[in-house]
Structure 1
Amino acid sequence: MDGIIIQCTHCRLEHFITKRTNYLYCLRCHSLIPTQTKFLKNTSQKHTQLQNIKNSSLTNCTFENSSLYGISGSSEYKSYPRGISVVRPKTTFAFLNACPRGISAARPGKRALICGVSYKNQKYKLKGTLTDVYNIKQLLTNRYHFPEQAIRVLTEENDPDRVPTKANMEEGLRWLVDGCKSGDSLVFYFSGHGFRQHDLNNDELDGFDETLCPVDFKTEGMIIDNDINTMIVKPLIKGVRLHAIIDACYSGTILDLEYLYSLKERKWLDNRPPSGARKCTGGGRAICFSACRDDEQATDSNVFTHKGMSGVMTHCFIQTILNKPKLTYFELLNSVRETILKTSPSKCISSKIIDKLLKRKISQEPQLSSSEVFDIENTTFLL
């Protein structure tokens, strides 16, 4: 059986695979690695390399099912990344936490999770999310120099382990912050449906929890803001920056951050929960750009390209950055807001029928929230 030896471009761990694939998943630093084309035919060389892999420090980890992570009884490395499925998220999380200290030290300083949910073959299908995903990834790689292998993309066009199911999204959120260290820049992007539901914990000022809708939310449920805060806000240590960009309805405080900026009053508003529960980080800073307020709906439009659809907020966000290389958080938020308000709803898909009938502008105001107060008028935006 032919095989190839692939070396991770970040941590230099060698992987042996027997199947041709476009990429494999690094067991040590969790990066996506492009594969090569030359296969080895020397059987003894293959088994020697495989034995070296098995003898690495990763074998000290506790696996509930080792075949899921590439070390199988047949002595072959399987390139199926992580073995993720909707019924095994806890196994994957246990693996991340079981790795010996120091393994995640090789993780790249920039890491991003990009989720675009189209809800194909469903009555609430969205047409602009794939365009949003492509444009955001281009922005991260070309403008902010995020390594390709440090960006995880979840869409319905991918293999099953990269479809934006609830399990895959939650696993991706944990992957995003796993092993973060001072100086890291993390990005979480979501384009899809958002929703809200009654708050049962008295930790929302408006009485509602905000949610994101994965592709299987009808059967597996939504991802609520409390859980998102727990997964990617609380683990942030000092010196780590997280930016979330959420193009979804009812997403104003989707990360449950403690401060919300008011453009009208030009000051930070206290968004801490009535219950007194802490929603802060472990010392890092979390910032969220949302498409609209918690009581508003976001829209898709083809008014910008006159071809395919795209999220209004996502398009305006990217174009503002491209048009002005150096801008403050205030300039970015204000510019996105002004561009959205100038957009005619006649070519937009919006469930607010009354706005269309009365020919109103898009009822959508982008929001900025943060885990801490900072001077947005003099702080340069940077991912």
Structure 2
Amino acid sequence: MPRKKALLIGINYTGSNHELNGCINDALNVRDFLVTDRGFSPDARDMVLMTDAPENEGTPFYPTGANMLAAFSWLASGNRPGDVVWLSYSGHGGQVRDPDGDRESGFDDTICPVDFEESGQITSDTLHRTIVSPMHPEARLTILFDCCHSGSACELPFVFRPDADGNVNMLDTVKKGIALVRAAGGLLEGGFSLAKAQDARILLGGATDFFHSLRYGRSEEAAAADDEGLAEEKFEEDWENEGKDVWMFSGCRDDQTSADTSIAGSATGAMSWAFIRAMRERPGQSYRNILQNTREELVNQFSQIPQLSCGGHYDLDQPLYL
């Protein structure tokens, strides 16, 4: 029988200058959802809960950088075809300068262990190599990240984002590239000059970098991809050819923050609350529906825009498998 396996992490950074309020609650709420609604076992062999609650300090369940990396390895190892694997993280997210030079922003997304000031942040590249790359290609991993700057936190190559009307659109980088081309064309209108040509060349060079993040050229296949809101992140590594069955819901774009808030008198992360609410109110939804409905839950109170990232070019209209 397929196994269900889960790792839940919630860090409040209690007593530090970076204290949050709702992250431990997020981990507990996700545990309740997985056990009650999705048939996961709370047995410690199948589900690991890591928080910085005082009783966990000094144990493997305290979310230090070393403990988290060990837990990621446990989660990604020993999986078989058909297994259902879950990872959720609620805590601080950050960004560090990208050492590979393959990110348009110049930064890698990160997550922050409870001891990040001493041990450092865990980068998106490390997360991918530790969690995604070792996964069995026929086991499905679902990830929920409720933290700031989380859009590319696991460096999954295909990224989808809903707009305010619920339509799933391409990454903003594509639109920026188109804008640069238009700006270059507009610059040369009204008379040619060497200075204008040089400026136009710079703009078009920037546009080329943006378009390199697309999987396809402007073929019929590309037009169809655009219509369904498909874009590909650009990474130094050949992640798009790994073929991993990984789906990640993240609380916001790379350049946004995720809200730590209070709902119905309980501290919670906005994304965790919205995702669980959307899942419970509408059973049997597709991945596209979950993304749209999570956005709908958030749109009236929060500016953050949730995203869905995938390890491959998968059908967003298939029912969520969890």
Question: How does the TM-score come out when normalised to structure 1?
Answer: 0.64
| Deviations 1:181-203, CA, capped at 9 Å, x for gaps | 11111111000000001111023
Question: Which of the numbers 24, 35, 38 marks the counterpart of 1:130?
Answer: 24
Cα shift at 1:367: 0.7
Gaps of 5+ in 2: 164-168, 170-227
Correspondence for 2:291: 333
Distance (Å, rounded) in 2 between the aligned partners of 1:139 and 1:193: 22
| Deviations 1:228-261, CA, capped at 9 Å, x for gaps | 0001111122211111100000000100011101
Correspondence for 1:301: 261
Distance (Å, rounded) in 2 between the aligned partners of 1:170 and 1:317: 25
Q: How do 1:279-298 residues align onto structure 2 when only pairs under 5 Å count?
A: 279-280=239-240, 282-298=242-258
Pair 1:269 & 2:231 matched? yes
Cα shift at 1:301: 1.6
Correspondence for 1:139: 33
Identity of aligned residues (%): 30
Equivalent position SS for 1:242? strand
Distance (Å, rounded) in 1 between the aligned partners of 2:139 and 2:242: 10
Distance (Å, rounded) in 2 between the aligned partners of 1:244 and 1:169: 15
Question: Which of the numbers 270, 278, 296 marks the counterpart of 1:320?
Answer: 278
CA contact (8 A) 1:213 1:222 kept: yes
Gaps of 5+ in 1: 1-105, 344-361
| Deviations 1:59-114, CA, capped at 9 Å, x for gaps | xxxxxxxxxxxxxxxxxxxxxxxxxxxxxxxxxxxxxxxxxxxxxxx9x7111110
Correspondence for 1:112: 6
CA contact (8 A) 2:161 2:305 kept: no
Task: Answer 1 or 2: which has greater helix percent.
Answer: 2
Distance (Å, rounded) in 2 between the aligned partners of 1:111 and 1:282: 22
Correspondence for 1:371: 311
Correspondence for 1:382: 321
Correspondence for 2:109: 210
| Deviations 1:42-63, CA, capped at 9 Å, x for gaps | xxxxxxxxxxxxxxxxxxxxxx
Equivalent position SS for 1:309? strand
Q: How do 1:239-278 residues align onto structure 2 when only pairs under 5 Å count?
A: 239-264=138-163, 265=169, 266-273=228-235, 275=236, 277-278=237-238
Distance (Å, rounded) in 1 between the aligned partners of 2:78 and 2:267: 37
Equivalent position SS for 1:204? coil
Distance (Å, rounded) in 1 between the aligned partners of 2:17 and 2:102: 33
Higher relative contact order (CA 8 A, sep 6+): 2
Equivalent position SS for 2:159? strand
Equivalent position SS for 2:256? coil
Change (3 A) 1:138 1:132: same
Distance (Å, rounded) in 2 between the aligned partners of 1:313 and 1:287: 16
Distance (Å, rounded) in 2 between the aligned partners of 1:267 and 1:231: 28
Correspondence for 1:42: none
Correspondence for 2:89: 190
Larger radius of gyration: 1
Correspondence for 1:55: none
Distance (Å, rounded) in 1 between the aligned partners of 2:61 and 2:162: 37
CA contact (8 A) 1:234 1:280 kept: no
Whichever residue aligns with residue 292 of structure 1, its letter is C
Q: How do 1:342-381 residues align onto structure 2 when only pairs under 5 Å count?
A: 342-343=300-301, 362-376=302-316, 378-381=317-320
Distance (Å, rounded) in 2 between the aligned partners of 1:110 and 1:284: 17
**Range that drifts further, 213-222 or 278-287:** 278-287
Distance (Å, rounded) in 2 between the aligned partners of 1:127 and 1:119: 9
Change (3 A) 1:298 1:189: same
Pair 1:177 & 2:76 matched? yes
Equivalent position SS for 2:155? coil
Cα shift at 1:280: 4.4
Distance (Å, rounded) in 1 between the aligned partners of 2:108 and 2:242: 22
Equivalent position SS for 1:132? helix
Question: Which of the numbers 112, 128, 152 marks the counterpart of 1:229?
Answer: 128
Distance (Å, rounded) in 1 between the aligned partners of 2:6 and 2:41: 9
Distance (Å, rounded) in 2 between the aligned partners of 1:198 and 1:267: 28
| Deviations 1:117-146, CA, capped at 9 Å, x for gaps | 010101211110121111100111111111
CA contact (8 A) 2:149 2:256 kept: yes
Correspondence for 2:268: 310
Calculate the aligned-residue CA RMSD, in Å. 1.5
Distance (Å, rounded) in 1 between the aligned partners of 2:85 and 2:17: 33
Distance (Å, rounded) in 1 between the aligned partners of 2:35 and 2:241: 27
Question: How does the TM-score come out when normalised to structure 2?
Answer: 0.76
Q: How do 1:59-78 residues align onto structure 2 when only pairs under 5 Å count?
A: none
| Deviations 1:9-67, CA, capped at 9 Å, x for gaps | xxxxxxxxxxxxxxxxxxxxxxxxxxxxxxxxxxxxxxxxxxxxxxxxxxxxxxxxxxx
